[in-house]
Amino acid sequence: MNDRSHLHPLFLGPYGENNDLFEKLLLEFLRDHVYWRRNFHPEDPPAIPLLAMNSPGYRDFVAHMSRELHALSAALKRSVPFSSPRYIGHMTSDLLLPALVAQIMTLPYNPNNVVDEAAPVTLDMEISVGLQLARMLGYATDESRPDCAFGHLTSGGTVANYEALNVQRALRHYPLAVAAAARNRDVGIRSRQGDVRALDAWTLLNFSNAETIALHAAVLEAASKMPEREGRAWLDAVESERVEHLGLVEFARRHPEWREPVVLLPATAHYSWQKAMKLTGLGTAQFRKVPERGMRMDSAALDALLSELAAERQPVLAIVAVLGTTEFGTIDPIHEIIACRERWQQRGLHAPVHIDAAWGGYLAALFRESDGSFADHDSVRREFRHFPSKRVHASLEAVRHADSITVDPHKLGFVPFGAGAIVFRDQRMLDLVAQDADYVFDPERDAPDYRAKFRQLGRYILEGSKSGAAAAGVYVAQRVVPPHREGLGRIIRETIRAAEHFFDHMPVIARELEGCARLSVPVEPDSNLVCVAINPAGNRSLRAANRFAREVFRAMRVDPAVPVQTREFFGSYTTLSRRGMGEEEFLRVLETLGISEVDADGIFILRHTLMNPWLLDNTGDVNYIERYGEFLARTIREVAERQGR
Ligand SMILES: *Cc1c(COP(=O)(O)O)cnc(C)c1O
């Protein structure tokens, strides 16, 4: 067995094994906080009199508060035991001790990462976290480079995805606004394609992000060469033509050749994309679903779709690729998607690529060496039984070509909730969504350097007040367990090994169940999620199989009416939909289960997120995956018996 002792100090542990360490750290740092308060002008008299605690009102309040806190503590015992290796449901697990302690330690200081004036310490940490993620993903991270990457934390992957769409919307429409203002005021603005006044709408809508960034610089430069009042008027004219000012309806009226740009994504995309399209006003009608093969985007189908869109002169706001789908952990062929984008860019259709790697982004830590280089396939392959396929390796290598990437520290980063992130390949992409970044309008003022700029974080992002404690948690976690092969990679390696063990063990369970039920893994895993489909022996109806699988799931679901302590295991479920998978794949899965009567449009399957670090043999006597296998087999037999099969 592998030695896992390096994992021992990293987590509080399912049994609270590290509670002495945890308590010691918390006590020390909470006391430290109190001393810090006290030593800020110790000459001031106490605001709360020392004898206040003797008053009846004070004592009543404390009694009331204690009662409520005890009630909360009691209620929380009904929480889902994410830290236990018996929890293999959703994308949560035990938390990195450094993240947990850092976050708790920071809470009483209450920093607000909206601006450095409210967070002189933790905002800088957030900027560093963004750069560290950028480095893990392979982006440029030299702060002195104008095209340095920039990443920041969000409340979660959902908001990160909103932001990606918002920034792409700004970039996509800016050249049209500049051209309109330039024509109105007769200002010559050069771009790679020529003077913008002479460009048609299709060309303007297909500026690459780099070209739009250069155009923005040209607009500012033109302003700086004009007398001050004229310069301001010119910049105001550009702003007043932008879609962010006019709204989509008026923008469309002024540009009859304009069409709503579409967003291309696979059917496996997370539902936050639906919300994002509603929120940005683009509308979900602007989705174009890219067909899939085995729950991964089909790049040949993407190419065909882009060809159609180019022929219709239909602009594309973004291609969304998924790195680690929420349901199956599958990985879209990023390298092929990027290649496809490059091909069409040369033919005049620009399609930015955003990668939704909320789940799978940290898989990059398995490939990134501590010196920043990217590990070759063989050296990673040696650490596993199946992982990574050539396609997965090539996909991870190619993420650095994407325009932006969502990655959630509160998922595979093992930190507490409230920490998603988005990373942009080029920090200047954010200039077009900046809110009153006054230097932009003031040719007299030099642009601030990278850190100074983003210390005004709230001007550049969707959110306002935000938790500095969350930033401190991610920062300390990534200092102690950096996102590369020798750091976080060592934890994520365990999750993949657990998934491989699970995948290899399922046929054993399937054999044990012969004559009772058929078991199959319908989607070959790319990472650390494994799904299992079930059909009772002799059954040919999909609807009956779903009813059966649902009943099996009842034994492992979170049910407010059932005390969590009485559950043996927790899992989750999903549905393989006929529309999402395509007819051929759908029928193939049904065939492996022996189902011929297609009387439903989806297959109910069990879904397992194998991210708990203690799933495999750790102390020498328990292997939770094999235990789960026994539990699953037993549950299936019980359900079969109850249903009289
Ligand atoms: C989890 C997830 C999201 C949403 O992230 P939240 O942090 O839950 O807001 C988006 N996309 C993918 C692929 C995800 O797995």
* Tens-digit pLDDT profile for residues 126-141: 999 999 999 999 999 9
Residue type, 167: V
Mean pLDDT of 22-37: 98
Counting from 1 in the atom list of ligand 1, the atom nearest the Cα of 420 is 7
H or E stretch covering 488: helix 488-512
What is the per-residue pLDDT for 360? 98
Neighbours of 143 (CB within 10 A): 15
Quick one: pLDDT at residue 618? 58
Q: Are 243 and 205 in contact (CB under 8 A)?
A: no
Where b means 16+ CB within 10 Å and e means fewer, 171-208 reads bbbbbbbbbbbbeeeebebebebeebbebebbbbbbbb
Mutate to test the pocket of ligand 1, among 92, 154, 155, 158 (most ligand atoms within 8 A of CB): 158
Instruction: Give pLDDT tens digits for 535-555.
Output: 999 999 999 999 999 999 999
pLDDT of residue 582: 85
Q: What is the pLDDT of residues 220-230, one digit of tens each?
A: 999 999 999 99
What atom in ligand 1 is closest to the CA of residue 325?
Answer: 13
Q: Which of 156, 141, 215 is nearest to 400 (CA)?
A: 141
Q: Is 292 helix (H, G, I), strand (E, B) or coil?
A: strand
User: pLDDT tens digits, residue range 298-340?
Assistant: 999 999 999 999 999 999 999 999 999 999 999 999 999 999 9
How far CA 141 is from CA of 137, 370, 459, in Å, comes to 10, 15, 21
For the chain, list the domains and their CATH numbers: 1-44+78-94+493-645 (3.90.1150), 173-258 (no CATH)
User: What integer is the mean pLDDT of 470-477?
Assistant: 98
How sure is the predictor about 294, in pLDDT bands with cuts at 50, 70 and 90? Answer: confident
Nearest-angstrom CA–CA distance, 386 and 384: 6
Burial status of residue 38 (CB atoms within 10 A of its CB: 0-12, 13-18, 19 or more): exposed
Q: Is the distance from the beta carbon of residue 158 to the nearest atom of ligand 1 less than 6 Å?
A: yes
Least confident of 17-21, 168-172, 436-440: 436-440
For residue 268, report the distance from its CA to the centre of ligand 1, in Å: 12
So what's the pLDDT on residue 4?
A: 84
DSSP 620: S
Residues 6+ apart with CB under 8 A from 199: 175, 179, 191, 193
- AA identity, residue 392: V
Q: Is 420 in the pocket of ligand 1 (CB under 6 A)?
A: yes
- CB of residue 328 inside a 6 A radius of ligand 1: no
* Contact of 328 with 610, CB cutoff 8 Å: no
Q: Average model confidence (pLDDT) for the chain?
A: 95
Q: Which of 153, 165, 408, 410 to mutate to test the pocket of ligand 1 (most atoms within 8 A of CB)?
A: 408
pLDDT at 251 over 60: yes
Write the DSSP assignment of 328-387 as a string of letters: T--B--HHHHHHHHHHHHHTT----EEEE-TTGGGGGGGTB-TTSPBPPHHHHHTTSSSP
Q: What are the residues whose beta carbons fall under 8 Å from the beta carbon of 97, sequence distance 6 or more?
A: 9, 10, 11, 12, 18, 21, 22
Cβ contact 424:355 at 8 Å: no
Q: Please check the confidence at residue 445 and state whether its pLDDT lies above 70.
A: no
For ligand 1, atom 12, the nearest C-alpha belongs to: 358
pTM more than 0.95? yes
Nearest to 523 by CA among 537, 536, 533, 515: 533
Supply the pLDDT for residue 472.
98
